[in-house]
Amino acid sequence: MMNPENIIIAGSNSRLGKYFCDNIQEYFPESRLLSASRNSISLHNNYKIGKSGLEGEMPENGLLIITIGDHRRSLLNEAPDDFREIIESNFTIPSVIISQARREMKSGSIIVFSDAMIDRPMAGYSAYYAAKVALEKFVEIVSVEAAPNLRINCIAPGIVNLKSTARHDAYSRWTSQVPLRKLAGEESILQTIVFLWENEYITGSIITVDGGISNKFFD
């Protein structure tokens, strides 16, 4: 399949977003790369992201990758503002950008991100997991509404590379819980994006990339 004419990365200041900005053109060298962040337009950001979506008109066709998200604890009875912000980052803004793309893009592919552990959530992350569940259902429904011109899919990563602030035994502790005994890494996620672009018969799907950690038969 041909390279997408345009690649828009919404959430270029996120860890995944930065990685995609730096590496995606190795797979799509002929594509024009555009990016967006929630901060401001700069040399590296062609759009600013607001509550109404991308502040600027999208290209008519291409690959839209929405990496916006906020993975942190949230206790509704203690920090209602945090709860609201997490819902906004993980569901509201991605869904608004998808709705904008439906109006402005004539053809292409859209990818958002969920979490492989939705069915095995950690206590204290209720807002985060609730938002990701909503986003998955939104993708399943809106992909039907957007067809046949747009394909919309969701990638659900497992544990990606650890933060630099992680405890010294974090790698061994987490890899021991993954059947493949290794973490995903951003490259595994990027390869899935390429796969979803190249396969024109996939839409409305949730693709899990987690080394098997979410498998209900693995404990």
Region 140-145: mean pLDDT is 98
Q: Of the ranges 17-21, 43-47, 92-96, 151-155, which one carries the lowest mean pLDDT score?
A: 43-47
In a domain, 215, yes or no: no
In a domain, 101, yes or no: yes
C-beta separation of 154 from 111 below 8 A: yes
Q: How many CB atoms lie within 10 A of CB 204?
A: 16
Q: Residue 145: its pLDDT value, please?
A: 97
Residue 157 belongs to domain with CATH number? 3.40.50.720
Helices 93-104/126-146 angle, 10° precision: 10
State which residues form the domain around 196. 6-209
pLDDT higher than 70, residue 128: yes
User: Which residues is 49 bridged to in the sheet?
Assistant: 54
In a domain, 13, yes or no: yes
In a domain, 172, yes or no: yes
Total domains in the chain come to 1
Helix/strand/coil for 177: coil
pLDDT higher than 60, residue 212: yes
pLDDT higher than 60, residue 218: no
